[in-house]
Structure 1
Amino acid sequence: MGTSAVILTKKDKYSPEQLLADIIVTAFHSDVALYFYNNKTYTNEGTFQYTTLNINRKSSTGDKESSFIFHIHSISSPSTEFYYHEDLGLDTSE
């Protein structure tokens, strides 16, 4: 069972490569395991759409593991559109 979340940022400041790099460095400095298989998804036209990575952490008792699945989308991916902007009072131009 999981919960979805969206990280909001300004479109002109977003870089999939920088986000991936930041996640890798953060996982390195944390007590977590990072699983990244360089499996990129492309559109039918051959444009990069997204890649996925997993961040896992075992509990202190060792019997449970928490997992965070992260999809990093391209700037042009249709999945980067956030459809709940009106509910939150967000400006779609940003």
Structure 2
Amino acid sequence: MGLSGVILKDRRNYSPEELLRDAVTSAFRADLNLMLSECDRYDKTTGDFKYAQFNISVGNFDSDYEKDQFIFEIFPLDNDFVNDDRDTTFEDIDSTQKLYNVAVIEKVSQNENSIFKFAYEYLKLNPKDYIWFEDDFAFDFQDMERLSKLPFDENWCYKNPKNLL
């Protein structure tokens, strides 16, 4: 399946509906196309948000061509997993927050350009959040701002942002 990324957000400030709004706003500000591909919106008994999945693309949504097209999935926090032990999972990234994985970015490979544009706009709206890639590199808005001033490097998400000058 390849490398994926996640949105890390402090659980104390998390609302899936706000993340949904910010994802749509970020895609539009990045001049990306967005298509809701799968949605199990709300639990009919509790009214709680359940799940949403988008395809986000630089161009048209052509199933034969997946370059610069990635999948973005939003999840609610599972309260069964919210506890003191889990609160420290991403402590090495930011010890002042209780960071949790609240969204997944799939299909990172060959989509680094569109993910960069989206991540920049998303983190501009949410500067306390992080985009974390499986290789243990977490990017905050300051990292993205610094990277945006450099010539584009398609391998940006595979490198430690603290080492990029």
Question: Which SS does the other structure have where 1:7 is aligned?
Answer: strand
Q: TM-score, normalised by structure 2?
A: 0.40
2:34 corresponding residue in structure 1: 34
Q: Quickly say closer, same or farther: Cα 1:20–1:41, change in 2 above 3 A.
A: closer
- Describe the superposition over 1:30-84 as per-residue Cα deviations: whole angstroms up to 9, x where unpaired: 22110114621778x87643211111114xxxx873122111001227788x7x9
Would you say 1:10 and 2:10 are equivalent positions? yes
Verify the 8 A CA contact 2:42 2:50 in the aligned structure 1. Answer: yes
1:54 corresponding residue in structure 2: 55
Structure 1 runs not aligned, ≥5 long:
none
Q: Distance in 1 between matches of 2:79 and 2:3?
A: 21
- Measure, in 2, the Cα distance between the counterparts of 1:13 and 1:87: 16
Paired position in structure 1 for 2:67: 65
- The 1-side partners of 2:79 and 2:52 are apart by 11
Name the SS for the 1:36 alignment partner: strand
Partner of 2:54, secondary structure, is: strand
Aligned to 1:19: 19
Checking the alignment, whether the CA contact within 8 Å between 2:36 and 2:52 is kept in structure 1 is no
Task: Please tell me whether the aligned partners of residues 34 and 56 of structure 1 are also in contact (alpha carbons under 8 angstroms).
Answer: yes
TM-score, normalised to structure 1, is: 0.63
The 2-side partners of 1:38 and 1:86 are apart by 29
Structure (1/2) with the larger strand percentage:
1
Q: Which runs of 5+ in 2 are unaligned?
A: 60-64, 99-165
Highest RCO, 1 vs 2 (Cα 8 Å, sep ≥ 6): 2
